[in-house]
Structure 1
Amino acid sequence: MSEAPETSPATSRRTLLCGAAAVLAAGGAVAVSGCSSSANSSDQSGAAKGPVDLGPASAIPEGGGKVFREQKIVVTQPTAGQYKAFSAKCTHAGCIVDQVKNEQIQCPCHGSRFGIADGAVQDGPAPKPLPAYPVTVEGGNLKVTPS
């Protein structure tokens, strides 16, 4: 009586590469999904919902402004006592603006510049103004409501 030769499963190169690709794809999906999760209540743009207390209005220089990177909000004071708030997300490629200088909100990625009074594009490539948010001063603190 003849016995069948003992065989062991052989892994082909194709099977190995497909398996590795599946593992990498799953890991990438987990990594990407982890980027969008947030511990605080926020919308898909990352801006917090409801009024956000940004601290003392006195921290915003007249003729300038301040970027609140974590909240993705920029607040300016074009003239004494007049506060403006905008999304800090550039309308060109979605980068977060990094500073307010020379009466302009400045994006570091591609050089877009926005006016501190109205968020209007002063220098491209941004295609449209920064979205404006309602801002109030309550008890000396800035309260901004992202939309």
Structure 2
Amino acid sequence: MTNRPDRRTILLATGAVGAAAFTAGCGGSGGSGGGDSSSGASPGDELTTTAEVPVGGGKILADQKVVVTQPKEGEFKAFSAICTHQQCVVATVADGTIDCACHGSKFAIADGAVASPPATRPLPAKKITVVGNSIRLA
């Protein structure tokens, strides 16, 4: 005769596995599409050129985890490209916002402020310098 686990033991084990799977797939620094919140770029690194950042839009540099925008002609801004909601890398810059495809958060290109939830915190600003045609991390 073999000992079989009772119903309570099975339910507890199944619940623990389900909770672990849920936690692994939802949020934190290892969330889907994510990466961590640290920047992949170092001070002095050239991010892009002024010609590559459209007025009223921006350019996402996923490898550097930075998005550079040009809200007005000649005015350049930079922000973390990691969404503050679930740490996904933002996907597009369009119609005056930086957009995250994971859950629909949108951020203003002028200051990184939340323009549309579910994110509740703005994108952190990055310091940049513009020298000639080169946009560099400060």
What TM-score, normalized by structure 2, do the two folds share? 0.70
How far 1:121 sits from its partner (Å)? 0.2
How far 1:118 sits from its partner (Å)? 0.3
Size of the aligned set, in residue pairs, is 104
Deviations 1:21-49 (A, max 9, x none): xxxxxxxxxxxxxx9xxxxxxx9724223
The RMSD of aligned alpha carbons is: 1.8
When residues 55 and 110 of structure 1 are mapped into structure 2, their CA distance, relative to the original with a 3 A threshold, is same
Provide the secondary structure at the position in 1 that maps to 2:78: strand
Q: Quick one: which amino acid aligns to residue 92 of structure 2? A: Q
Unmatched 5+ residue regions in structure 2?
Answer: 1-29, 31-35
Partners of 2:82 and 2:89 within 8 A in 1: yes
- Runs of 4+ in structure 1 off by over 6 angstroms are none
Identical positions, percent:
48
1:124 equivalent in alignment to 2:117: yes
Distance 2:116 2:101 in 1: 12
Q: Quick one: which amino acid aligns to residue 110 of structure 2? A: A
Q: Which residue of 1 aligns with 2:51?
A: 58
Distance 2:57 2:44 in 1: 22
Provide the secondary structure at the position in 2 that maps to 1:125: coil
2:75 maps to which of 82, 100, 110: 82
Provide the secondary structure at the position in 1 that maps to 2:84: coil
Q: Which residue of 2 aligns with 1:110?
A: 103
Q: Quick one: which amino acid aligns to residue 124 of structure 2? A: P
Deviations 1:49-93 (A, max 9, x none): 322202311110000001001100000000000000000000000
Q: Which residue of 1 aligns with 2:91?
A: 98
Tell which structure's C-alpha radius of gyration is larger: 1
Q: Quick one: which amino acid aligns to residue 74 of structure 1? A: V
Unmatched 5+ residue regions in structure 1?
Answer: 1-34, 36-42
Partners of 2:41 and 2:137 within 8 A in 1: no
What TM-score, normalized by structure 1, do the two folds share? 0.66
Deviations 1:108-130 (A, max 9, x none): 10000000000000101112000
